Amino acid sequence: MNHFDEALKLMNLSFGKDIQYAFATIDEDKPVVRIIDGYFLDGYIYITTSRLANKVKHIENNSNVSLTYKLNRITGTCINIGHPLLHNNLEIKEKLKKVFYLFYDRHVDENDLNTCILKIKVSSAILFLENKKYQFNFDEQTVNISDFIDDMIYLQ
């Protein structure tokens, strides 16, 4: 039995908020990692940034990206969907303003034409939640669920 839709709800609950991810892109042949704020919604992660940022330049050359948060891992492909005020972005912009309420008005300059939204189409993810390991294949819309005991000690 495929439990993808049920497991996707857990992804939305776990990551459908402001999460600080380690975000990896490729610069020529070298990985580059930085911390970003991201918002997950139904198989996509959204990020606000400037199109002048190195991460945007990296994805223009290689759209493959990876993100981590604690033990959780996500891979996918990233595109620049443009300025937040573009007609096609208005709905997601409003969601991002709510999710990123702690910094959006101070750090996302909608008057700057270089401001943009990055959209990551998740292809695979590993979610650890409530003593379970969820291995997602978003392309095939499948999930493998197994038992997992998280005995990691997280330092704050």
Rounded to whole angstroms, how far apart are CA atoms 46 and 96? 8
Query: What was the pLDDT predicted at 58?
Result: 98
- pLDDT values of the chain reduced to their tens digit, one per residue, 156 residues: 579 999 999 999 999 999 999 999 999 999 999 999 999 999 999 999 999 999 999 999 999 999 999 999 999 999 999 999 999 999 999 999 999 999 999 999 999 999 999 999 999 999 999 899 999 999 999 999 999 987 877 776
Query: What was the pLDDT predicted at 1?
Result: 54
Task: DSSP for 69-135, please give it.
Answer: ETTEEEEEEEEEEE-TTSGGGHHHHHHHHHHTTTTHHHH--TTSTTEEEEEEEEEEEEEEETTEEEE
Query: What was the pLDDT predicted at 152?
Result: 74
Cα–chain center distance at 61: 19
Other Cβ atoms less than 10 A from the Cβ of 93: the count is 20
Rounded to whole angstroms, how far apart are CA atoms 117 and 57? 13
